[in-house]
A and B are shown apart, each in its own frame.
Chain A
Amino acid sequence: MDVEILSRLQFALTIAFHYIYPPLSIGLGLLLVLMEAIYLRTRDPLWQQITRFWVRIFGLTFAMGVATGIVMEFEFGTNWAAYSRFVGDVFGSALAAEGIFAFFLESGFLALLLFGWDRVGPRVHFLSTVMVCLGAHFSAIWIVVANSWMQTPAGYHLVGTPPHVRAEITDFWAMVFNPSSMDRLTHTVLGAWQAGAFLVLSVAAWYLLRGRHLPFARASMKLGLVVALFASLASLVTGDLSARGVARNQPVKLAALEGVYPANEPAGLHLFGWVDERAGRVIGPQIPGLLSWMIHDDATRPVPGLDAVPPGDRPPVNLTFQAFHLMVAIGMGLIGLALLGTLLLRRGRLFRTRWLLWLFVPAVLGPQLANQLGWTAAELGRQPWIVQGLMRTRDGLSPSVGAGAVMVSLALFTVVYALLFVLFLFLLDQKIRHGPRADDLAASGQRA
């Protein structure tokens, strides 16, 4: 295998594994703020118990995020040196901003969140929880801005002569608010909220089914449903905005997401299907004109297809198509689940409807899969570009790194990450089985 495919595989593996954890920090972070706020308002010891239980889970996921996150920052330099030289001026500043404004905040106040219960008063502790949650969100802002610049570059100009061309910032705010960053940021953050909410729901549903920790489980379930319902419905809106943005700014990516080939015709929408890339068509049921209507509010307007660009400029269509369609399908499933759960909760039947509770237990995987698939579609759909229209992925590699070296590191990452994942699941499972601690109900844990 050549160094390009190995480096891409390694980046995909390390980012996919890392991205299990940040959505949990963001989503659980929000839930922790809500839980502790309810506790401070009501002073009900149950909410102290709930907060402390989820803080312990948060600590574990956060540590995994830190351990796997630093890899990402190093990898731009190690494997993508030419890319780093090209974009350092633009991309580097977003990354540095993430460090200064997000990571310090997050990990500094994490100390108080995890270990500060007896050292600071309840208000300062709550402030720390808010800061950790804000830090996690700030981190999402800067990294999504950086990635969105790779999708829809703005606020820059190119300087130098080949092969030493590089992008330089001309307008910082145009770079930050590039055409796709806000749509993608909101969509990403909502996906993270879903990941946090469905984790809480899954654990609570499992306790309810087992008849354990019932007050804890009922209260967690109610709060989890509020966040899950809001985030799932809002994802639909931001997803639609994102797709319209892709249609405007990255027509080739849109064509790959939907498997549109004809160069200039009104396009239909496939609910599912299989892309025959050789024949240039999708096998599967199609609703004629729907894609045109969704993008242009007019079913007869044309949508540019893949045939409009040479084959060398097209992404891998079937993979992009499948990742995107699976994400959408899972997203719809999560909306259905959240709606049904809320409906039964309002009718007072949720905690007795065992089949639905059984659906909530594995539903924790839904947002995780959808987040991974969404990023897969976003990144694959941009290929063969590493920065849309400016630099091809194969031109971004490190000239001094050979395939052998990447083979070694990829093998190491695979083995170590597999081990870490098993251990993470084992420890998470133990914490969940152990359940909330009875002594967390005693409100004496906090200084008055």
Chain B
Amino acid sequence: MIDLQTTWFLLVGTLLAGYAVLDGFDLGVGALHLLVKKDEHRRVLLNSIGPVWDGNEVWLVTGGGALFAAFPVVYATVFSGFYLAMILVLFALIFRAVAIEFRSKQEMPWWRGLWDVSFSLASIGASFLFGVAFGNVIGGIPLDGAGEFSGTLLTLLNPYALLTGVTTVALFTMHGAIYLALKTEGEVQALVRGWINRAIIFFVICYGTTTMATLLYVPHMGETIKRQPWFFVVVLLTMLAIANVPREIHRRREGRAFVSSSLAVLGLFALVGIGMYPDLVTATDPARNLTIYNASSSPKTLAIMLTMALIGIPLVLAYTVGIYWVFRGKVKLGPMSY
């Protein structure tokens, strides 16, 4: 029987993984946005995520709320410790949101160009900063006796974290390109198909480097798999999912390619989770690690919220699937489009 803390480790993980799969492709589309030049094509890119991006962002909002409620100590330490980085994430998300909303509301080329650049930079910036944050939480940050972050902004910009930042951008770019191949047709799709292989290669190089760096510099991430080798199945499945993407793209089965790439994102998240458990934040002094036990809310609150999650999450999944189903198929521009 798994305890409440572990359940919430899994639930917060699920919400953040859901965010990575869903908003991951939105951010990836943003990263690729400036590669298409024609206005109409850019509108196709924007409208491919138009109906869904803000629903996808809610996974982050709810994941953040769940983290606050289930592990308030982690929420407080990480958000205040990474202060300026978090503020930058906020500005990236603000600019992404308003760029999508504002861009096509005026005809002037400078106006559209400005928001196109905002949209793209904000998407790349948010992906990168999420990756940097994860890299730090995994790689270890200096925490004082009271559990407060005692480093600076420069502490956060260490090589390992920068590497995980770039890897996250690469992952989302690949994921976004595959999503675009699924949602577009004709000229735009031809353009997108040309990027996919390069995006995959870029990601695989980043992934390989990050894996090596993790084994060398953050060996504790491999301990669980060493002790319980059957977890290696997750590594294998993740690799297979990544390898399956070019195969499906080649056979023009974009839907399956997208499923593969989503599974790859989930697999990577699962690997981070397996490596970290039961820690939530690694401290440079391991005695100060924030774990699911020393950072959690009371069992009563965890139990109340579990009830909420058991009622809420099935509902959310049901109508989210329904809404994606309504918007299935290729993007068509209409009078209500962005």
B270 at the interface (CB under 8 A from A): no
Partner pick for A111 among B84, B93, B102, B327, CB 8 A cutoff = B327
Task: Give the contacts of A76-118 with B (CB-CB under 8 A).
Answer: 76-79, 81-82, 84-85, 87-93, 95-101, 103-105, 107-112, 114-118
A108-B319 in contact (CB<8A): yes
A346 nearest CB across to chain B (Å)? 37
When distances are taken between beta carbons in the complex, the residues of chain B under 8 Å from A100 are 62, 65, 308-309, 312-313, 316
A67 nearest CB across to chain B (Å)? 4
Which residues of A line the B interface, CB within 8 A? 56, 59-60, 63-64, 66-71, 73-74, 76-79, 81-82, 84-85, 87-93, 95-101, 103-105, 107-112, 114-120, 159, 166, 168-170, 172, 398-401, 405, 408-409, 412, 416, 420, 423, 427, 430, 437, 439
Partner pick for A78 among B72, B87, B102, B337, CB 8 A cutoff = B87
A88-B93 contact given A70-B61, A430-B105, CB 8 Å threshold: no
Interface string of B88-101 (1 = CB under 8 A from A): 01110110011011
Known: A93-B308, A108-B55, A166-B72. 10 other contacts (CB 8 A): A73-B64, A73-B65, A73-B68, A84-B72, A92-B65, A109-B323, A114-B51, A399-B148, A401-B80, A430-B106
Interface string of B122-150 (1 = CB under 8 A from A): 00000000000000000000000010111
CA distance A406 to B167 in the complex (A): 30
A96-B54 contact given A81-B80, A89-B297, A400-B81, CB 8 Å threshold: no
Interface string of B170-213 (1 = CB under 8 A from A): 00000000000000000000000000000000000000000000
When distances are taken between beta carbons in the complex, the residues of chain B under 8 Å from A96 are 62, 65-66, 68-70, 305, 308
B73 at the interface (CB under 8 A from A): yes
A291 nearest CB across to chain B (Å)? 39
Chain A residue nearest to B312 in the complex (CB): A100
Number of interface residues of B (CB under 8 A): 66
B69-A93 in contact (CB<8A): yes
CA distance A109 to B58 in the complex (A): 12
A66-B57 contact given A96-B308, A170-B300, A398-B83, CB 8 Å threshold: yes
A63-B100 contact given A109-B323, A119-B326, CB 8 Å threshold: yes
Chain B interface mostly: helix
Which residues of B line the A interface, CB within 8 A? 50-52, 54-55, 57-58, 60-62, 64-66, 68-73, 75-81, 83-84, 86-87, 89-91, 93-94, 97-98, 100-102, 105-106, 146, 148-150, 297-298, 300-301, 304-305, 308-309, 312-313, 316, 319-320, 323, 326-327, 334-337
Chain A interface mostly: helix
CA distance A66 to B69 in the complex (A): 21
Query: How many residue pairs at the A-B interface have CB separations less than 8 Å?
Result: 223
A399-B146 contact given A78-B86, A110-B54, CB 8 Å threshold: yes
A116 nearest CB across to chain B (Å)? 6
CA distance A401 to B85 in the complex (A): 12
B54-A74 in contact (CB<8A): no
A114-B336 in contact (CB<8A): yes
* Most A C-beta atoms less than 10 A away, residue of B72, B316, B320: B72
When distances are taken between beta carbons in the complex, the residues of chain B under 8 Å from A109 are 319, 323
CA distance A91 to B72 in the complex (A): 10
A67-B323 in contact (CB<8A): no
A115-B50 contact given A70-B57, A405-B83, A408-B84, CB 8 Å threshold: yes
* Most A C-beta atoms less than 10 A away, residue of B70, B75, B313: B75
B105-A427 in contact (CB<8A): yes
When distances are taken between beta carbons in the complex, the residues of chain A under 8 Å from B105 are 427, 430
Partner pick for A104 among B66, B316, B327, B335, CB 8 A cutoff = B316
A77-B100 in contact (CB<8A): no
CA distance A215 to B305 in the complex (A): 50
8 CB contacts below 8 A, A to B, read A63-B101, A64-B101, A78-B79, A78-B83, A88-B297, A92-B70, A99-B58, A405-B84
